[in-house]
Structure 1
């Protein structure tokens, strides 16, 4: 079973990026991205790499980010 941890602060995103954990992204209560890893972030956006060359930019204000951990 997976455990969801919400990512909110810069420190949360930094740790997720360093550990290369998988991320699930929600926007308007819908999953818009799943399984990628954080590659960059700033105060306005989060960049997630989902495939070999598949970068997606998400707004920090419009989306919710969750780290997926396996138990």
Structure 2
């Protein structure tokens, strides 16, 4: 069964990026992205890529990021 793990710290984002786990992104309690992987991040922005030409830039402060894991 799948469950969500919220990404808070740089270490959380680094682990998700290395594992290439799918990420869900929420903003204002609405899901705005799902299934993309983290390609890079910094203190302000998280860059997600879902396909060859599907790149999205999200604010770290305005959005919530969740890693999908399998139990």
Aligned counterpart, 1:39: 39
RMSD between aligned residues: 0.6
Q: Which runs of 5+ in 2 are unaligned?
A: none
Q: Which runs of 4+ in 1 moved over 4 A?
A: none
TM-score normalised by length of structure 2: 0.96
Q: Give the count of matched residue pairs.
A: 71
Q: Which runs of 5+ in 1 are unaligned?
A: none
TM-score normalised by length of structure 1: 0.96
**1:6-56: per-residue Cα shift (whole Å, max 9, x none)?**
001000000000000000000000000000000000000000001122110
In 1, Cα distance between the equivalents of 2:21 and 2:46?
Answer: 14
